[in-house]
Structure 1
Amino acid sequence: MIELLLVDDESYVVESLKQTIPWEELGVSGVHLAFSGQQALDVLERQPIDVMVTDIRMPGISGLELIEQAKKKWKQMKCILLTGYSDFEYAKRAIQLHAFDYLLKPVDDDELMESVSKAIAELNEEWQQPVNKQALASGLDLALLRENLLNDLLLGKKFSEKSLTSLIHTYRIPVSPADPVVMLLIKPGEGFPDFDPDSQNLLTFAISDIAQEVLDEHFHQWYGVSPHGYIAGLIQPKLQQWEYEEELRNPLSAFLTVVKNNVNDHLGGTIAILVTGVIHSPDELPPTYQKCLLAFFQGEQREENNLRFLEDSSAAKTDMKWVRSMYKPPSLIQLLETSQWSAAEKKMDEIFDEMSSLPLSHEHTYEVFFSFSNAFVYLAHKQGQYLSDIDHTMIDIVMGNRTFHTIHGLKEWTFSIFSKLKKEIDTGEKKEKRQIIQQVQEFIAEHLSQDVSVKSIAVQVYLHPVYLSKLFKQETGESLGDYIIRMKMEKAADLLKHTHLKSYEITTQLGYQNPQYFSKMFKKVYGMTPQEFRESGIG
């Protein structure tokens, strides 16, 4: 969970923000207040803070000076600046200090919520970086990492430009979604039998390989199995010979016709290919992917061996923006990702209430279905599961064997899936947390003779030190630092009782350099010095 600090010399400003914004819905567990730069530094010394929102103009230590001092010690913390002065010099200095965002006062609640949500998302990405790097170092299949990242983008996970660029580089992906791309969605048709998962992966690889070979001369490419079981690809021209979409369509159509024919000739089956227009940013990927799903679902791609462009379909003209509550931050994916179950349930209720007040068509109902299913599929995949394993009706719906004729039917299905997913994830999270705590305790037990720190343990379990500290305290009721000291002192007590080692020798065995410090810690735990303990004959 996230700890947030609000700083402003006008106390009513931060007190109002604390009371009016639904922080828990953003995944914020604690909101702390400070009314000056010095008070803020005092809070930072006492309490781990993940996100700091501060005014710039304050007496004494200004917001810019506060960030400059804080960043020297707490480099991971995200800082958001609030100011009533739209002076470029302030903004320029904020950029130099690596402030996360810069908002003008009076700040709009939705704007601040969106900024904090993005800061939290970037923190989560940074906390996952050690895991990704370790996975690469241990030889984990790069194709799987690339596919997972592609799915995250299609399902609407937010990445900062810096984090996305880093992942693209780390996974050696030749396509950058930050630049214009075209999406391909490929649906295997007749000639391909029902495969088991391993055979399905081989088919996906074979079709993707054929596409790679045909398009390789002119396009950078990135393929993977999409969250709903199709083959998804992002492609970019290697050269800028096609400056406009109309110039791209004809040659791409010719290349993809070759792909279709080669799949039929070499693999003995047919495929349908849906091609989007140019997508200009990662934020456009999720709605475009949803429109592709809708086009397939509406039957426009049921003709075998078909090649069509999304812009020619009615799905391209469908606009979801009218369901305002669907897009109001935080998103459903953000709430589910941070296990904010009550807030997620409330958001879904708001969406259904809004739908009930609008004149909706059958297509609109399925647009909402795909938005919900994307969030559910993303969460299931993040847990290493398929949503179809949790509820088999997912396959029936995607393949067109089951339809929703009413909002009530969609609502029943949504909350049924939500309930099953929550139960599955709660169980998995509890087990995962217990395993992490066990790993930590075993590592400490094996390394009592070393200078064990929270940071060194966090590296071993691939978690951010702040998050690990919070998790350990939450699960055991004891801080990780106190636990380390207690384990060392229990070891010291055993050595004092059963050996003739001198106090300074025990100090060395426990990884301490200073006998006086060791004696102080021992007295803190046992209420007496090591020598007094040995002479007392306790135990």
Structure 2
Amino acid sequence: MTYQFLIVDDEYFVRQRIRLCIPWKEYGFECAGEAANVDQALRFLEATPVDLVILDISMPGANGLELLRMMKEQNSQIKFIILSGFATFEYARQAIACNVTNYLLKPIDTDELIRSITEIRETLDKNNHLKQERLAWQEARLIAEHAEKSTFFQNIFSGHTSVSESAQLREFGVLQDVPCTVIVSDGRPKVIHSLSCQERAAFQTALGNLSGCLLSGKSGCIQVTDAYSHQVLILPQAQLPAGPDHFLERLSSAARENFSRDIVCGYGYGNDGLAPSIHSAYQTALQFFTFRTVYESDGGSFHTRLPEKQALEQLNTAIRGISCGLLKKDHEFIVSSLRSAFQIIGQEQFSLPALESALSALLSAAIEYAVHNEIGLFQEDCGSAYTAAGIIYHGCSLGEIEEKFTNLFLSLPGSQELDDIPMIQRIVVQAAELIEREYSNADMGLQYIASALLISPAYLSRNFKRIRKYSVMQYITKCRMEHAWDLLAGGRLSIAAVAEKTGYQDAFYFSKCFKRYFGISPSQADR
């Protein structure tokens, strides 16, 4: 780490001598600026933080001791090297009273100066290390507390409650005897899916802080994260006298104004602040939020009715068309039929249960074809991304869902002529972009990417290697290692912290991978 220093001396040539007498960067310092008197020094220090001040005691006007006293009164952590042409005990005594331990006589002896800045560098390094450890501990404690609270409420949101829930709700500050409002909020799909894991986490923190500011001074308000990484607010209904829509309008405006992001929100009501009511209100809020996300709507309600019979008949016709296109290996007819299916869904704005049923029918058509033609499509550990509900609640707009199904059905025929169409190039680009955004996700791998893009893992693996000249895992490793190198080069993070930030849960395994990739250990890259 490079530390900044300021030179304060009324003699120009002395300042230049100090600048040039030693190779400062080799000793970990860089000159941030100069000042010819105490007033200039104070103005500089107000605008620019520094770690060290090299200060002449005797100057016209206020002398260097005045600056020392002012810095001491402000509890400043700046280190000082005092320069003086007067080898008197009185100056040394006053400097020592201001916690100065480095007192050098003019003309400057470079060896003494080097000894002084070496000692100061060691002290600064030690203090910086202790400060980072304290900050890391505080951050880890806050993360653990937030995770514990979020896990508790996620169990309530999913309907899994325990006998001790009432006591814990009181501990977290929930007012259990008053009706509650539950609000679910997050960025719009195009916003969220363009962010890396770190950027997504920063966005969630910013959105939570923004909500907290708008609710400042209101009691009984709880902020947590749900299983989908959405922000969830639980608060007494009385805290929103103008209703949740008014509050959400303010939150949306503030999000656009403060960090230029569009957000989606949904809400639900509970009869009280007990677990069953919170669960019910959250489920309503999540459905409201998801409906707005899927249809990119800002409407004040969401559909719960079933679609018209004619719309269902048209949808079934489109799905039969997709099956026919699969049999004929006619990708144009597949895409056309899919477009028709999603146009019907969008025009009718299917309710979430109806949408889930429609997507399940599409998945069934894909699975039936894959099984009949012995195509390895889904594996047992695919998770919820290959279910209709998983796709809906993954946080995608209807357009993104259509794109996923297009990828899926075009990867099914498996004919060589389909391997050369631009669509496949686009799928590979999407996979690469997903890796580059979420390389820090410990679950990142072929199956994770295939699930996110809704395509066959084997199909993705074959085409990714053919187009990118890397296997999927080689590309993941490449992204992780390049980011790890950049993080280590800064010298501010431990090897364990870098491992965690690049998707490795085991620092020892990360070190082995790093050495295998670069030929040197992470500790060597840190130098």
Given the two structures, how large is their TM-score scaled by the length of structure 1? 0.31
Given the two structures, how large is their TM-score scaled by the length of structure 2? 0.31
Whose relative contact order is higher, 1 or 2, with alpha carbons under 8 Å and at least 6 apart? Answer: 1
